[in-house]
Amino acid sequence: MLRLSIFLFFLSTILNASGQKVIESYAPQTGLLQYGEGPRDFFPLNEKGYTLIMPENDRPLTGVIISLEDGRFDIKGARPQSLIHPQANSKGLVVLYVSTGIPVDLYFSENSLHYVDSILSTVFAKYTIPNKNIFFIGTMVAGHRALKYIEYCRTKKSRFQPDIKGVVLSECAIDWVRQWYECQKQVRDHFNDAQLFEGHLVTYLFKANLGDTPQTNLDKYLDFSPYSYFDTSMRHIRYFKDLAIRAYTFAPTNYWFSANGKGVNDSNYPDMSGIINELKVQGDQQAELIVFSNETRAKTDKMEIQSNTWNLVDKKELVDWVVARTK
């Protein structure tokens, strides 16, 4: 019975629902990831693998939307407004979620990038998906991962060499100099446990992986950040400036910028607006910023606003935007 259970666990599962074919292939991992100095500061590793969602009919595939995760994508548990595959599949777009299995994976190690590259190559070949019109979507940390993988491809490290046309960012921290200072403030202020935990987590991860702070070695942080306001050379923008890039953010001046000890630099708004503005300066005519206003979420729990920016996105309009940029 145990052997049968293990076999079924490793076997890819195929589910059919609402005109989509869902293929899930994951493997469990043993081990722990240390995220702090305490004796119990460890995360168990997540499952690694992928979830592929394809149109059920035999219509031609027009492109692929990819999200880079750090664990199994919970398609059943996700809020309906967060899902993009119903609209994407109806337009002939495949949706693929890839997980490295590493919690809070910021791609410090190129092993994660190599793994993503190999999974994409395998999945595209196995399911006869054309390598064309590839768009990445990245909410929160997944946006950082998408930009790091694009940089990996543009520096000719990818064996697969995907035909990337664009990327969609939603409330992403990508300026890790700004984020590091925000986290130091979170630890100093200790307004709530969530902020304190994030502050300690980011501080530890960067200390463990880079061995420095922005104060002791700014260049390490600028090299790691896909975009940074503090990078006067804008060294990474060249990797993105020919892409169609859309960034979504929420800038609630009556909350994030005036409560809980936060200022403008204690949100992801500067990162989202900053990279789009810099792309425009560099000549990218396909870069655009969408800012949700206070009125957009006037009746919601404001503590959830930033993390739920993706839920505000009109998925049908976004998919139409993607389709209009396919060739």
Q: Which two tokens stand for residue 280?
A: 């425009």
The pLDDT value given to residue 19 = 64
Q: Which two tokens stand for residue 29?
A: 């991992």
Give the bridge partners for 17, in sequence order.
Answer: 20
The pLDDT value given to residue 296 = 59
pLDDT at 301 over 80: no
Q: Domains of the chain (ranges plus CATH)?
A: 10-171+307-324 (3.40.50)
Taking only the tens place, the pLDDT of each residue in 58-113 is 778 999 999 999 999 999 999 999 999 999 999 999 999 999 999 999 999 999 99
The pLDDT value given to residue 3 = 44
Give the alpha-carbon dihedral of 156, 157, 159, 164, to 10 degrees: -60
Q: How much is the pTM? A: 0.92
Query: Could you tell me which of 51, 96, 52, 47 has the C-alpha nearest to residue 71?
Result: 47
In the block, residue with structure tokens 């019975």: 1
Alpha-carbon gap, residue 102 to 192, rounded angstroms: 26
Give the residue-averaged pLDDT of 316-320.
98
Taking only the tens place, the pLDDT of each residue in 169-189 is 999 999 999 999 999 999 999
How far is the first Cα of the chain from the last one, in angstroms, to the nearest whole number? 50
Query: Could you tell me which of 274, 276, 215 has the C-alpha nearest to residue 241?
Result: 276
The pLDDT value given to residue 305 = 53
The pLDDT value given to residue 287 = 98
The pLDDT value given to residue 50 = 98
Residue 311, Ramachandran bin (φ over 0: left; ψ between -120 and 50: alpha; else beta): alpha
The pLDDT value given to residue 327 = 81
